[in-house]
Structures are given as structure tokens and as C-alpha cells.
Chain A
Amino acid sequence: MSITMTKDDANNEVTIVIAGRFDFSMNTDFRKILSDPDSTAGKYVIDMGAVEDIDSSALGMLLLLREKAGGDNANIVISRCRPDIIEMLKMANFQTMFKIA
């Protein structure tokens, strides 16, 4: 399980790639990205293509990211998600808070 970040300064966009099980054990790494001054941007893309499974703590972390990105004004796209994981996101009503692509 891993989490990496890339910044596109030209478009003021940050891409976060998550792989493996996205759960509580990832919280330390996730925090590193949250607290990284470079990670402040106008748009966020969270690439979940390699994510195998999530639990509620993953949803919690995503919400913390949303807080950092401006709450209701945040512009976050969750991309390449697997269908079963999309279902879990929808159950938590995430489609109203994030753009699910």
C-alpha cells in the first residue's frame, strides 16, 4: 500500500496516487501529504486505480483532505475507481461532495 503525490504547477493541480488497501494504516503517509506545503492547490485528482479495498477510515481521510481543500468549495476528482468501491463511496453520499469519475 502506498500513496504518492505529484504537483502540476501550471494547472495548479495536485495528483495523489493511492495503491493497495486504503485503510487506517495509511494515515501517517496521508498526513505527510496533507501537511506538505506543496500540496496546496486549486484542484485535486485522487487516482484510485490501484486501490483494492477501502474502509471507513479511508472515507474519513478523504473528508479531511476535502476540509483542507476548502470544504464546500473544494474541487476534488476521484478517478479510475473500481465499481464496487464507487458503490461504497455512493453509499456514503460522496457523489455530492466529490466528483466521481
Chain B
Amino acid sequence: MGTVTKLIHSLKTYNLLILYTIIISGLWFYEYFTLLFVSAIAIIWVGDVFRHIKPSNESLVDKSDGQESLLSSVQMQNSSYQGITNSILDENITISEEVERLSNMVHEATTELSESFSMMNIYASEQKSLVGAMLGNKETDDGDSASINDFIQDTEGMMNYFIETIVNTSKESVRLVYKLDDLSERIVSIEVLLKDLKFISDQTNLLALNASIEAARAGEHGRGFAVVADEVRNLSMSSANFSNQIHDVVAEAVNGISDARSVIDAIASRDMRFVIDAKTKNTEISNVIQKLQKQADINMKEISNIADNIDESVSVAVRSLQFGDIATQLAGHIVERTNNISHVAGEISEAISVSTVSEDESELVQKMTNIVAVCDNGVETIRDLKGSPVAQEKMDSGEIDLF
């Protein structure tokens, strides 16, 4: 429309000139005069028609009377425009600041959340390791876990050894008793021999007595015999004495053997039921520990799964926090847009504020034209922004999008 108004302006100024030229040339070229004259009329008429559809500002400016009130109206309008553009600028500044704040908040929050989630992951991992160590899980490469089972096995082995020792001791003890029995028999046979000896010494004594009597009967001749008889009697009494002593010693030996038997009885008689209880308890403990171990393995697997689930959840959370990046970008775009709007508003404001001291209509027209141009430009500028929105609308799992 700018070029059209210029054309109209030209037409207005020059159509009189054209008319003049036509008239002059008509005087020289009579034949073509009529044709030219008609053309001129046409041009004037067209010019008139165009005049009616000129922008209102120009038509306002064209009328000389009321031109002053029109000018002041224009000026009022312009100051309104100025007011609006200033409001837009102020508002845009506020929008920018708020968007900036929002963007910062989001960034801070997402950073903190991200760190927090990462820490959670680390803690979950640590927990898993600790529990593993505690349960003595073989997977955790811990030497202690094997030793509990070894301990139980060793205990069982020790018990078997002790049982074997007890039974063996009993066996040898019984064998020892049998040996003592044999000894006893020997000693008993001494007693028998002593009996015979006693009989012999008793008989010897009797004979000696008889000999003494016979010797007394023989008188003088028997004296020597009497002495012999007495000696024999002494001998037999000695023998009896020794016999008794042997008998006493034997009796002591028999007692000794009897005592020994009692001692061996005590050694050989070991209660086996107590050992059964101990062994049974050991087996029970072993079973309980195996059960606990199995349960611990199951629990450990559970904990492992949970730790993996936490890991996954944390990954999802961290991925979701990527919205922070998008938010920041969107915020940037918003600020950019508002900046553009401010820029356009600024240009309009500037165009409006060029002071019109003179009321020269051409200057005013120029100014209006300029304002229109600036507005048109602004519309185009803003339209151009529409072509670059942030395309990403939702986060898909498993993708990390790079902006």
C-alpha cells in the first residue's frame, strides 16, 4: 500500500501537468487532440477515484479545514499507542523475569533430585553388599561363610572320634578284667597249694610228736632221736608260719585284684545315652543352620532383585528429570519471543515518538507511513518465530534425546 499511496501522490501532482501538456500538444497536433483530451479526462477521473480509497490519515491530511483537530487526534492516538507499547514492554520484562525464575527453579530442583536419586542408588548398592556379607553368602567371596558348615562337620567328626575312643577303652578294659581274672585264678591255685602245704606241715608236726614220744620211751638211747624229733617239729611249725604269711599276702593280692576290678568297672561303664543326646543336638543344629542358609540365599536373591528394581526406578526417575532440559529450552524460547515482541514494540514506540513539531502534512504522512511499515515488519518478524517450536512432547522410556 506504501507504493500505491506514492503513486496516488504522484498522480495528484502530475495530472494537472499532463493536462497542461496535452492542451499544448493539442494545439500543435490537432488530429490527436481529441484522443489526448479524452485520455486526460480519463486520467483525472481515475485519479479522483483513487483519491477516495487513500488511507484515512492522508484523506484527513488532504482537507485543509479541520486539519488542526485531525492532527491533534492523530497525536492523541499516537500517545495511546505509545502507552500500549510501553505497557507491552513492561509486561514483557516481567514475563521474562518470571520465566527466568521458573527456569532456574526447575533447573535447581532437577539437579538436586538427580543427585538425590543417584545417592539412593549408591546406598541401595551398599546395603546389598552389607547384607550379603552378613548372611555369609558365598557369592560375596567371604571366607567365613564356609567355616560355619566346616565347624559343624568338624564337631561331628570330633564326636565320632570321642565315641570311638570310649567304646575302645571299654573293650580294652573288659579285656584287662579278663587278664585279672586269669591272674586271680593263678592266685587261687596258690591257695590250693597252701592247703596241701598246711596238711603236710600238720602231718609233719604229728609225726614229730609221735617221734618224741617214741624217743622218750627209748630212754637214754632215744635222746638223740628226741632232739631230731624236736627240730623236725620246729621246722614244721616254721613251715606253717610261712604258709600263713603266704596266705596273708595272697589275701592282699586278691583284695588288690578286686579293687582293680572296681576301678576298671568305673572306667569301662560309660553312659551312651548322653552321647546320643549330644549327637542328636548337633544334627539338629546342622539342619537348622542349613535351613537358615537356604532362607538366607532366598532372601539374598530377593534383596538383589530389589536392588535391581531400585536401580531401574532411579534410572527412570533420572530420565524423567530430563524434562528440566526441555523446560529450560522452552523458557528460553518464551523469553526469546517476548524479546522479539519487545523489540517490535520498541521499534513502533520509536517510530511513534519521532516528534512532529511542524504540521507539515507530508512529514506527517511520512511518519504515518513509517509507522505502518514498522508494524508490517513486526508482524512478519513475529510470524517467522512460529516455525520453530520445541518438537518433543513426551518422554519415551529407553531414549535419551539430545537437544
Given known contacts A64-B175, A88-B273, A91-B276, is B170 in contact with A57 (CB within 8 Å)? yes
Q: Which residue of B lies closest to A35 (CB)?
A: B178
Given known contacts A24-B265, A91-B276, is B160 in contact with A59 (CB within 8 Å)? no
The dominant DSSP class at the A interface is: helix
Q: How distant is A3 from chain B, measured CB to nearest CB, in Å?
A: 14
B133 part of interface (Cβ distance < 8 Å): no
Interface positions of B from 135 to 169, Cβ below 8 Å from A: 160, 163-164, 166-169
Per-residue B-contact encoding for A58-101, CB less than 8 Å = 1, 0 else: 01110110000000000000000000000110011100000000
Interface positions of B from 173 to 197, Cβ below 8 Å from A: 173-175, 177-178, 181
Q: How distant is B144 from chain A, measured CB to nearest CB, in Å?
A: 30
Indicate if the CB atoms of B164 and A60 lie closer than 8 Å: no
Per-residue A-contact encoding for B233-276, CB less than 8 Å = 1, 0 else: 00000000000000000000000000000000100111111011
Residues of chain A within 8 A of B164, CB atoms compared = 92-93
Indicate if the CB atoms of A63 and B276 lie closer than 8 Å: no
Q: Tell me the bound Cα distance from A92 to B164 in angstroms.
A: 6
Given known contacts A60-B167, A92-B163, is B272 in contact with A23 (CB within 8 Å)? no
Indicate if the CB atoms of B171 and A59 lie closer than 8 Å: yes
B51 part of interface (Cβ distance < 8 Å): no
Q: How distant is A84 from chain B, measured CB to nearest CB, in Å?
A: 8
Which B residues contact A (CB, under 8 angstroms)? Answer: 160, 163-164, 166-175, 177-178, 181, 265, 268-273, 275-276, 279
Which A residues contact B (CB, under 8 angstroms)? Answer: 23-25, 27-28, 30-31, 54-57, 59-61, 63-64, 87-88, 91-93
